[in-house]
Amino acid sequence: MLAQAGARLDEINKQPMLHTLWLDVRQKPRVSFVMGYGHDVVFLKYYVAEKYIAALHKRTNEPVFKDSCVGFFIRFGHDLNYYNLEFNCAGTVLGQYGCGKAGRQFIDRRRLELIDTQTSIAFNGENGLFEWEITIAIPAEVFQFHYIDSFAGMTCSLNFSKCGDALPERHYLAWNKIHALAPDFHRPEYFGKGIFVRSEILVGV
């Protein structure tokens, strides 16, 4: 199912992460993504090209943001709290829930292990970059503080990120621009608005 979903996501217009935040990066990663959904599952696909990669963290809820990492931040409806799901290039996930950066609660490991990922990594000798993709299927059960029978028609606010806190060239990219003095993706006031369109099985952001 995931390979089929990934192929369908490839057909949707990609959303670029254009905002490089907090640090001047000599050669910033090229990152884009696509989001879609089925009845009770969210699909994501990220496309990344960067100079350095790492995937040192192998266990659920380890600090994957230190590796080559992409992130997904989503708040449903008028909830003051939001979820962050972060994945390194090997597919290891960290998941949390809360209203801000401090005091976040880890999502239950058993729920996070319901997430299906498919990754590919290749080195492009022509441009000297590692090119990697990750396709992600997130069942509704992962959002453990909400009862979601179907995503259709739901409203949300969200953001997407790329980072690598422990890479030789640290960087922070986001889909929606964040106005903060220090690195902090946990700023829901800067999330973009989204809706799960009722008439579509798979839609882009």
Question: What CA–CA distance (Å, rounded) separates 172 from 183?
Answer: 8
Alpha-carbon gap, residue 55 to 94, rounded angstroms: 13
Q: Residue 205's pLDDT is what?
A: 42
Whether 200 shows a pLDDT value over 80: the answer reads no
| DSSP secondary structure string for all residues of 142-178 | GSTTS--S--TT-EEEEEEEEE-TTSSS--EEESS--
Whole-angstrom CA distances from 160 to 20, 42, 110, 149 are 12, 14, 24, 24
Determine the structural domain holding residue 122 and report its residue range.
Answer: 2-195
Identify whether 204 is part of a domain: no
Q: How many domains does the chain have?
A: 1
Looking at the predicted structure, is the pLDDT value of residue 204 above 50?
no
Question: Is residue 85 included in any domain, yes or no?
Answer: yes
At 1-41, the pLDDT tens digits run 799 999 999 998 999 999 999 998 888 999 999 999 999 99
Q: What burial letters (b/e) apply to 115-135, b meaning 16+ CB within 10 Å?
A: bbbebeeeeeeeeebbbbbbb
Q: How far apart are CA 150 and CA 67, in angstroms?
A: 33
CATH number for the domain spanning 142: value is 2.60.40.1190
What is the helix (H) or strand (E) element at residue 99, kind and residue range?
none
- Under a CB-based contact definition with an 8 Å cutoff, are residues 188 and 157 in contact? yes
* Residue carrying structure tokens 């060239």: 169
Is residue 205 a part of any domain in this protein?
no
Q: Does residue 48 sit within a domain?
A: yes
* pLDDT band for position 197 (cuts 50, 70, 90): confident
Asked if residue 138 is part of any domain, the answer here is: yes
User: Would residue 200 count as lying in a domain?
Assistant: no
> C-alpha angle 61/85/77, rounded to 5°?
135
Q: To which H or E segment does residue 62 belong?
A: none
Neighbour-count burial for 74-99, b at 16+ CB within 10 Å, e otherwise: bbbeebeebbbbbbbbbbbbbbbbbe
Q: For the segment 93-117, what is each residue's pLDDT rounded down to a tens digit?
A: 999 999 999 999 999 999 999 999 9
**Which amino acid is located at 161 in the chain?**
S
Tell me if 121 sits within 8 A of 147, measured CB to CB. Answer: no
27 in any annotated domain = yes
Q: Which are the contacts of 158, defined by CB distance < 8 A and separation ≥ 6?
A: 72, 73, 74, 75, 191, 192, 194, 205
pLDDT mean over 175-191? 97
Residue-level pLDDT at 159: 97
Q: Has residue 190 been placed in a domain?
A: yes
